[in-house]
Amino acid sequence: MMKKILLTVLIAGVFLFAGEFGRITGRVVDRETGEPLIGADVIIEGTELGAATDENGEFTVLYVPAGTYTVTASYISYDPYTYTSVVVNTDQTTVLNFKLTPTVITVKGVTVEAERRVIVRDQVHTRRSVTSKEMERLPVTTINQVISLQAGVVQSNLGTHIRGGRANEITYFVDGIITKVPNTGYQSARINPNAVEEVNVVSGGFDAEYGDALSGVINIVTKEGGPKFAGNARYLTDEVFGAVDAWKRKLNYGYNLYDLSFGGPVPKVPRLRYFLSGELMLTDSWENAYYRVPSPRVDYRGQARFSYHFPNAKGKLTLSAHNSREQYIYWRSGNLKYFDHMPMSRIKNSIFSSTFNYMLTAQTLASLKFGMTHYERAYGNRDYAWEDSVGRAWYEDYRFYAEHLLPLLLDDATPDSMIRHTLIDSLMVYHTERFDLTHSVGKIHEFKTGVDVISYQMKYFDIPTRLL
């Protein structure tokens, strides 16, 4: 049965996009007397963000993108004081207190490494944040593995669960854009870990801005290019016993992971920065088993992010794109539905988003977002004979027996009787467009409001088992 669902939801007065910014606040005083230093400069190195202290020596730097920074406080006739490894999490406040030492000669200043607070006093919900630095030290290859390591999160054959909830009760965000399949509720986008700046897992107490979540919220903030060029490459393999055939059959699963990420400023346009990331994974046996089973899989993911920073930190324009494909063969010793055939699955996902942030005043930020998500999944039997006849390359799509009929599933004029006799179990396509306008006001407290427009278009087809 063909199902087409068009759903438009308009929600006003509540901010439904996940945050991308945090703030830094604190106080600058004289180390010897404890008196506040009025007008001291607090600068985030490598950015145009900063603030000056008030009559109480206090400062607040608003709308700092999530990441790890170096922050310096300076004042005339005092030694500069620098904090390194300052972690700023989304929707959280990082507190830094500076104690400057008077001096009459120029010295190098004082440099200390910032410590992350164990208890976040202004946090009103159960939240765990993992930064890119922490992920580099973890023995993981996927974002889902990072999420599974957090308290209250477990994995099963049905997916990811937070505090005992169903897998479809989690809401996923990537750079403020919701990324989950509408009719199933499962995660649609899997981002390369080396392209992620921060992962936030909210497992309880989330407020109205996460109105679509039931058991939890997972917010992924991707990296953007810095003031200097930087990059990394990674290669993982289990084919270390390839020279010995007996060992190769027992120990090698044909697993190979290639990963490349780099970014920085565009030459001659330093305000325009880019970050590019790509990942390719190939394996001959991805199914969990006590021995190697014939279940090949080939996945790729690519991501690009371009950001333009306006002078004096007045605003930023960001364009992002993500494209991925997952295709794999299932292995089931007792699969009777498809007899001696091995069913396969192919998932393609694309995300395009743009964000425009602009400082209306020193205390107010306006944010405009637009995003589109395209997701499709097909399931059926792989046509090995056709692939051999045309010489399919290793990087090309697997071929279904009814590949030529897939476009017809999207055509409303196609009769159901024609589709019913194919071995395609399901095909789903949806698009999402979102508009959001937000304001943040105040030095300590925040007020958020906005408009969220969501448009879904889904087409779903399923073959009952009794027809086969």
Query: Coil, helix or strand for 421?
Result: coil
Collect all residues with Cβ–Cβ distance below 8 Å to 256 and sequence separation of at least 6.
235, 236, 237, 239, 280, 281, 282, 283
Query: Is the pLDDT reported for residue 85 higher than 90?
Result: no
Encoding tokens for residue 223?
Answer: 């990296």
For residue range 417-465, what is the model confidence (pLDDT) as tens digits? 555 444 444 555 556 666 655 666 656 667 777 777 777 776 666 554 4
Tokens found for residue 355 = 């964000």
Question: Across the strands, what pairs with 345?
Answer: 328, 379
Position 67 pLDDT exceeds 90: no
Q: Which residue has the higher pLDDT, 231 or 439?
A: 231
CA max distance for the chain: 89
Sheet holding 81-88, edge to edge: 50-52, 41-44, 67-74, 81-88, 110-113
Q: Give all domains of the chain, ordered by start, each with its CATH number.
A: 2-15+224-467 (no CATH), 21-113 (2.60.40.1120), 124-222 (2.170.130.10)
Q: Is the pTM of this model over 0.85?
A: no
Q: Are 377 and 427 within 8 A, CB to CB?
A: yes
Backbone phi, psi, residue 150, to 5°: -80, 150
Q: Give the per-residue pLDDT at 352.
A: 87
- Where is pLDDT greater, at 19 or 241? 241
Q: How many CB atoms lie within 10 A of CB 67?
A: 22
pLDDT at 304 over 90: yes
- pLDDT at residue number 416: 57
259-288 residue pLDDT tens: 999 999 999 898 999 999 999 999 988 887
Q: Which DSSP state fits 363?
A: S
Name the residue among 355, 348, 91 with its Cα closest to residue 217: 91
Burial status of residue 97 (CB atoms within 10 A of its CB: 0-12, 13-18, 19 or more): middle
